[in-house]
Amino acid sequence: MTRLRVVVALALAGAVAFTVAVAPAPTVQAQGRTIKIGVLFDHSGPFAAAGSLNVWRGAKMIIDYVNERGGVMGKYKIVQVDGDSQSKTEAAINEAERLLNVEKVDILAGVYSSAHAVPLAEKVDKQKKFMWITTAIADAVFKDRNLQYVFRPQTNSGLFGEASVQYIAGHSQNKLKKAAKDLRVAIIYEDGPYGAGVASSNESEAKKLGMQLVLKEGYSAQAPDLSSLVTKLRAARPDVLFHTGYNPDIALFLRQSKEQGLRVKAYVGHGAGHSQLAKLKEAFGNEVEGFHTVDPPASQLIDPKKLTAGLGDLTNEMVKRYKSFEPNIPRDVIAPHVSMGFNNMWVLLNDVLPRAIQKHGGFGADALARAARETDIPEGGTMQGYGVKFNPPGHPMAGQNGRAFAAVFQVIEGQFKHVYPEVIATGAPILPLPASSPWAAR
């Protein structure tokens, strides 16, 4: 009798195990007709004004636009659940946990700061939840981590640093009257993952091209005084200054370098506060003429004829909706961060989610990850001009969009113009800095 009980128990255990093994993944019907997206950005603290708030605006505008047309595929409404990272890493981690495990969002999207994205990506991936990074660019988010559920259509910091140096090298002889190998360059950066990643790429590309690196130094984005850094730069006498920072550290540096008489032939920033032209002009007016920034392209600055048909209309929609936040802002002054939020969220809603639902049975993390790996958008197929194809598992940058590229912008006649690469250029670069600039080499 005892032996019979054991046999029956084993048979029942086998049946249970078999039932668990073949249980289907949650279906769209089981998940319902709404998709919850946790949208995590900095609504307070210094990162808000440095670009985070503008990316959130872009993301919100495209979510509203899709919902007004019935939702994803015309029938799955997006429920947007916002989180505020408060420009603090600990707050970002806590908000992500709340969105994923209390609000039970299906997707975690957004993230402005690379200092937040680096720990968040690993934590979310370990939970086997799906994360879609619209903004943070540090290579360290993906480098050698083989993440399975985290994807970034945005470009990465290595491309930022390469683009700015290649741009300067391309104009060194004809504009700066020096061969690239004779240029004296300096690199300064906020010492978090964002700044360090761009600066490392600046350095490696400059060395590859034979430029003379006269100073490379990091600083805390919260530093109350950068005058000693300015003194070192003055002693190093660079022709070109590459700077990666946030805000207000950029404004602090520019103010103190102006006061101390730092002079260069070209000043090249990299995203964040350097791309918030309206804020820079509030502080320095027309003195920022000739400044550069590197960022993903601003959609409204791209000739729509270079894009897939219909994307120009979508860009016009973005510009029109942004006027509700800043009614009097000129079209060409809208920060590229708005395009990042709008376009990168559009890729998720228009490409990844429909495929996950139609081909992979829903919008759970595994279905979304499979759908993302199948994304294959050619160059010119997004509002920002780049294509989308994510690096596969096993790649050193698995989950990163291998078709993304960075653009170099310059302030020309008070407005941003794309000056590099040629495929999206809308203006001829002004080098060296105009004589009217207080930072221009005399």
Is the separation of the CB atoms in 388 and 377 below 8 Å? yes
Token pair listed for 415: 């407005």
Token pair listed for 163: 């683009």
Q: What is the mean pLDDT of the chain?
A: 92
Q: What is the pLDDT of residue 17?
A: 34
Q: What is the DSSP letter of 70?
A: T
- pLDDT higher than 60, residue 321: yes
What is the band of 422 on the pLDDT scale with cuts at 50, 70, 90?
confident
Q: What is the DSSP letter of 383?
A: T
**Average confidence (pLDDT) over 378-401:** 96
**Average confidence (pLDDT) over 304-313:** 94
Q: What is the pLDDT of residue 333?
A: 86
Q: What is the pLDDT of residue 28?
A: 53
**Average confidence (pLDDT) over 393-401:** 98
> Three-state SS for 149?
coil
Burial of residue 50 (number of CB atoms within 10 Å: 0-12, 13-18, 19+): buried
C-alpha–C-alpha distance, residues 365 and 346, integer Å = 18
Which amino acid, 368? L
What is the band of 23 on the pLDDT scale with cuts at 50, 70, 90?
very low
C-alpha–C-alpha distance, residues 103 and 33, integer Å = 17
C-alpha–C-alpha distance, residues 202 and 428, integer Å = 23
Give per-residue pLDDT as tens, 132-181: 999 999 999 999 999 999 999 999 999 999 999 999 999 999 999 999 99
* pTM for the whole structure: 0.82
What is the band of 32 on the pLDDT scale with cuts at 50, 70, 90?
low
Domains of the chain: 31-155+320-373 (3.40.50.2300), 158-295+406-424 (3.40.50.2300)
Across the chain, which distance is largest between two alpha carbons, in Å? 101
Sheet holding 77-84, edge to edge: 77-84, 34-41, 107-110, 131-133, 150-151
In Å, how far from its chain's centre is CA 384? 12
C-alpha–C-alpha distance, residues 113 and 55, integer Å = 11
- pLDDT higher than 70, residue 386: yes
**Average confidence (pLDDT) over 94-103:** 98
What is the band of 8 on the pLDDT scale with cuts at 50, 70, 90?
very low
Give per-residue pLDDT as tens, 324-367: 999 999 998 899 999 999 999 999 999 999 999 999 999 999 99
Q: Measure the CA dihedral 368/113/395/163, to 10°.
A: 120
- pLDDT higher than 90, residue 19: no
